[in-house]
Amino acid sequence: MPSPRGVNIYIDESGDLGFTGELSPYFIIAAIIAQGPEQVQKCRTCMKRTMRKLPKKYKNIAELKYHNTDDTYRRRILEDFSKTEIEIAYVVLRKEQVYDNLRNNRQILYNYLTGSLVANIISKYGFSHEINVIIDKSLDGVSREEFDKYLIYRSLDRDNSYHTGNYQLEVTHVDSKQNLCVQAVDFIAGAIHRHYRGHAPMADHYHIIEGNITVVLDYFKGRQK
């Protein structure tokens, strides 16, 4: 459940952590930062508004995702989202730069990327209240328990320049089919991934949400924003 008083960080990814030549050279983890129940409701509304207008061919789809939606409806969701004050953070991994000893350890790599993203969000905003990280429960190849422990550990990193020690972080794993905000961040992550893969300008949706982006981590080029 979203925190009624604090901040809700919804997380999803696009791409994969495979390293064969046929796969995308990028892996994206994106987050939307919804501060309080009003922003959570705005996020849900962005999805509901488009879902009400979907043609019949989408009615039997279990979950609306960036990859199974055509560009018209992708754009509508992203344009609606861009008009809110909800902000976006993301990390991009350039997979060719990953050390060989990490390529077979998805747990360490995924934990590190997500932990770095959450720690940088906390540092950027200087939160001093409840923080709820909400993520899809189907973490392929990743132990939830180890993931949760690492995320909480990184959130307490005293090197964070705005760390106050006055907040409490919780990690909630949800069924994305039942959570519209996790579905929304899937569209965000998908648009960012497409941007890095270098699609033609007319098919690149990154510019729609660019004004909402506050944190960008580029591995291994360092923090970009």
* Prior bond of 220 cis (ω within 30°): yes
Integer CA distances (angstroms), 103 to 19, 20, 96, 99, in order: 7, 10, 10, 7
The pLDDT > 70 percentage for the chain reads 90
User: Residue 57 has what DSSP assignment?
Assistant: G
Q: Which of 40-54, 105-119, 151-165, 193-207 has the lowest mean pLDDT?
A: 151-165
| Cα distance between residue 176 and residue 203, in whole Å | 26
Is it the case that residue 15 has pLDDT exceeding 60? yes
Amino acid, res. 98: V
Q: What's the average model confidence in pLDDT over 68-89?
A: 95
Is it the case that residue 105 has pLDDT exceeding 90? no
| Strand blocks (E) in 44-199 | 87-94, 131-136, 169-174
Confidence band for 198, pLDDT divided at 50, 70 and 90: confident
Is it the case that residue 33 has pLDDT exceeding 90? yes
In the chain, domain spans:
7-223
Distance of CA 195 to the CA centre of its chain: 15
Confidence band for 162, pLDDT divided at 50, 70 and 90: very low
Residues ≥6 apart with Cβ < 8 Å to 176: 12, 63, 136, 137, 138, 182, 183, 186
Q: Which of 13-22, 80-89, 90-99 has the lowest mean pLDDT?
A: 13-22
Confidence band for 58, pLDDT divided at 50, 70 and 90: confident
Q: What's the average model confidence in pLDDT over 100-127?
A: 90
Q: Which residue has the higher pLDDT, 37 or 168?
A: 37
Confidence band for 222, pLDDT divided at 50, 70 and 90: low
Burial (0-12, 13-18, 19+ Cβ within 10 Å), 221: exposed
pTM of the model: 0.91
Is it the case that residue 4 has pLDDT exceeding 90? no
CATH architecture of the region 7-223: 2-Layer Sandwich (3.30)
